[in-house]
Amino acid sequence: MKKQCMNYIMACVSVLTLASCGDDEFSQIDFGQDEAEFTAVTPVPDHLRAGIPEEKPKEMLSVADPTPPEVWLISLYRQKPNHDPERDVMYYQKLLDEVLAHVHEDKRVVSNRLVQVTRQLQDKGIDADQDRLLIDFSHYLPSVNGKYVFGELTANYSNLRQQDMNHDQAMKQLFELI
């Protein structure tokens, strides 16, 4: 029985070996496409790379990303023209702590929502800034009772902004409704 199994396995290996011998010929078969139809891809010349960013900025902090949210927020802030060089990580930590006391999410989710709603509004041509949102949420949230889902707050803020309200009007309306 053992010998029959070994013979069977050897026969299978032999068939596979013989079948693979023709792979080079098979890969050379013309499937109706000439080599002339393909263009070789070359690297972008240096003079054209000047406007290409070296690294795409992070859209969101993933759960596996070890970057602390306050460090990510300060890095985004420092990309802005006319940023305050004295602003530090503790500034963001303090604001996040004030918000976290009134919402169910953690600081990573809060930071992601701030950046996400800002970028979504900017993509629609609406002026928005995650720093201003964080400052105003840290200001308004202590004035209301209870804990809130931060994602819902930012979604409602976004809806209000898309109804042609400016930032101040939208924040005031949002906190009057809760």
Task: For residue 54, give the amino acid letter.
Answer: E
Q: What is the pLDDT of residues 2-13, one digit of tens each?
A: 677 667 677 666
35 lies in some domain: no
Model pLDDT for residues 93-135, shown as the tens digit of each residue: 999 999 999 999 999 999 999 999 999 999 999 999 999 999 9
User: 40: number of CA atoms within 13 Å, CB side?
Assistant: 2
Looking at residue 46, its pLDDT comes to 64
Of 111 and 23, more confident: 111
Residue 50 domain-assigned?
Answer: no
Confidence (pLDDT) at 26: 47
pLDDT digits (tens, 9 = 90+) for 59-95: 788 888 899 999 999 999 999 999 999 999 999 999 9
- pLDDT value at position 152? 96
Q: What are the Cα distances from residue 106, in Å, to 116, 142, 149, 167?
A: 15, 17, 10, 24
Which residues form the domain of 108? Answer: 67-178
| Mean of the per-residue pLDDT values of the chain | 83
Examine residue 51 and state whether it is found in any structural domain, yes or no.
no
| Res. 17: pLDDT tops 50 | yes
List of long-range contacts for 121-125, beta carbons under 8 Å, 24+ apart: 121/158, 121/161, 121/162, 124/162
* 43 falls within a domain: no
Residue 87 lies in a domain: yes
Count of helices and strands (H, E) across the chain = 9, 0
Q: Is residue 177 situated within a structural domain? A: yes
pTM for this predicted structure: 0.66
Number of domains forming the structure of the chain: 1
In this predicted structure, which of 36-40, 119-123, 154-158, 166-170 has the lowest mean pLDDT?
A: 36-40
Q: What single-letter DSSP state applies at residue 148? A: B
Question: Model confidence over 29-56: pLDDT tens digits?
Answer: 554 555 556 555 556 666 666 665 555 5
Taking the C-alpha atoms of residue 11 and residue 30, their distance in angstroms, rounded to an integer, is 32
pLDDT value for 19: 60
Residue 165 lies in a domain: yes
Is 3 a member of any domain? no
- Give which of 141, 131, 133 is closest to 158, Cα–Cα: 133
